[in-house]
């Protein structure tokens, strides 16, 4: 479609669209949807890029829980030293719509900090767009010290409470 827009603009002398974007997302409109943009892990390994992976599942996202979508997942690949986003892979409901968030960050040379620093839970909330920040923080550097026993007990208490109330 983008190639057709460029060709039509060129044919009619319109300066609106002069080239095809260098970063093209791919989408497979199946159930579940599959979408990706940028590099794959195999490509990064072959090039010797020192990269990190952030992963998040739809089942850990409030919107995913509400719509009953527990099978979806999001994976962010980023440069370990600079945190520059190198690839985004999504499988699940609305994957072909969510991929454009990663595409925009990548097209501007952005880092995973864009996801961490931005607020994605706009109206209506909760939304599937709150998954990228979770994924980015999953790939962020981990603390070098172990969590305190108090913090672990607080986490265990919340986890037990969620199980008993039907929340995940």
Task: State pLDDT tens for residues 64-94.
Answer: 788 787 788 999 999 999 999 999 999 998 8
Contact assessment for residue 89 and residue 53, using Cβ atoms and an 8 Å cutoff: no
CA 102 to centroid of chain Cα atoms: 6
* Domain assignment of residue 116, yes or no: yes
d(Cα 11, Cα 9) in Å, to the nearest integer?
6
pTM (global) more than 0.85: no
d(Cα 15, Cα 6) in Å, to the nearest integer?
9
* Domain assignment of residue 49, yes or no: yes
d(Cα 54, Cα 61) in Å, to the nearest integer?
15
* Domain assignment of residue 10, yes or no: no
Q: Which domain holds residue 125?
A: 23-165
The domain total for the chain is 1
* Domain assignment of residue 14, yes or no: no
* Domain assignment of residue 105, yes or no: yes
* Domain assignment of residue 1, yes or no: no
Residue 124 backbone phi and psi in degrees, to 5: -75, 150
Check which CATH number belongs to the domain holding 157 and give it: 3.30.390.30
pLDDT digits (tens, 9 = 90+) for 91-102: 998 899 999 999
């Amino acid at each position: 479609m983008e190639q057709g827009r460029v060709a039509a603009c060129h044919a009619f002398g319109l300066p609106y669209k002069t080239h095809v974007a260098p970063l093209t997302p791919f989408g497979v409109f199946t159930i579940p949807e599959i979408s990706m943009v940028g590099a794959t892990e195999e490509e990064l390994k072959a090039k010797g890029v020192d990269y990190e992976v952030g992963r998040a599942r739809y089942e850990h996202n409030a919107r995913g829980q509400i719509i009953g979508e527990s099978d979806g997942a999001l994976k962010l690949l980023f440069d370990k030293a600079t945190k520059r986003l190198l690839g985004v892979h999504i499988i699940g409901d609305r994957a072909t719509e969510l991929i454009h968030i990663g595409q925009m960050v990548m097209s501007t040379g952005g880092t995973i900090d864009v996801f961490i620093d931005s607020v994605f839970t706009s109206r209506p909330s909760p939304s599937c767009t709150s998954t990228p920040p979770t994924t980015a923080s999953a790939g962020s550097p981990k603390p070098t010290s172990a969590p305190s026993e108090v913090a672990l007990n607080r986490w265990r208490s919340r986890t037990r409470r969620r199980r008993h109330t039907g929340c995940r």
